[in-house]
Structure 1
Amino acid sequence: MVYRDSQSDPSRERLYPWCIIRLLPHCQRITVARFRKRSAAEEHVKVLRRLIPSAIFVVLFEVEHEDVESAVALQPNQGLPAAALGPVLAQITQAAQSLPEG
């Protein structure tokens, strides 16, 4: 597990693509921690949700913009299927709706 510091290293972000994001009001977010494996991130987020039940945490697979462009360039005319994005978008939408307004 890697906690984000003030000087984030792009190579470190590639090594630890799974991250826990804390959603804040006004479409803001904080990266709480980064992990190599999804299972480790999900276990850690369970603990965070017990410790801070009022906060909203989401586990995301974060990739670099250049990585996405190179993947699309390798496979032209093949975007991500909507079925793959559906659960992630639903989770983010649900979390955003439960944020307090103000």
Structure 2
Amino acid sequence: MTYQHQLTPWVVHKLLPNLKHLTITRFRRRPDAEAYLKVLNQSQPYAQFTITFDSGESNFAAQAES
């Protein structure tokens, strides 16, 4: 995880078919991400978006499944 990604852990994703997602943008604070999500939902009412917190611990899930 890059330093820039560590500074901006809140990520807005667009949900795509087949359980895929597209990263739209990253934010430093959750309220900023929620405000952006509100604008996206108003401008694209038929698309689905979500906010996630990227902790950088991607190997945690792999270890938990073992």
Choose the corresponding residue for 2:47, options 52, 55, 61.
Answer: 55
User: What displacement does 1:65 show?
Assistant: 1.7
Q: How many residues align?
A: 60
**Percent identity of paired positions between Structure 1 and Structure 2:** 34
Question: Greater Rg, structure 1 or structure 2?
Answer: 1
User: What displacement does 1:52 show?
Assistant: 0.5
User: Which one has a larger percent strand, Structure 1 or Structure 2?
Assistant: 2
Matched, 1:18 2:10: yes
Matches within 5 A, 1:13-52: 13-52=5-44
Query: How far apart are the structure 1 equivalents of 2:34 and 2:20?
Result: 21
Deviation >4 Å, runs of 4+: none
- TM-score, length-scaled by structure 2: 0.82
What letter is aligned with 1:13? H
Gap regions ≥5 residues in structure 2: 61-66
Name the structure, 1 or 2, with higher relative contact order (CA <8 Å, separation 6+): 2
User: What displacement does 1:48 show?
Assistant: 0.3
Name the counterpart of 2:64.
none
Query: How far apart are the structure 2 equivalents of 1:48 and 1:10?
Result: 26
User: Which one has a larger percent helix, Structure 1 or Structure 2?
Assistant: 1
- TM-score, length-scaled by structure 1: 0.54
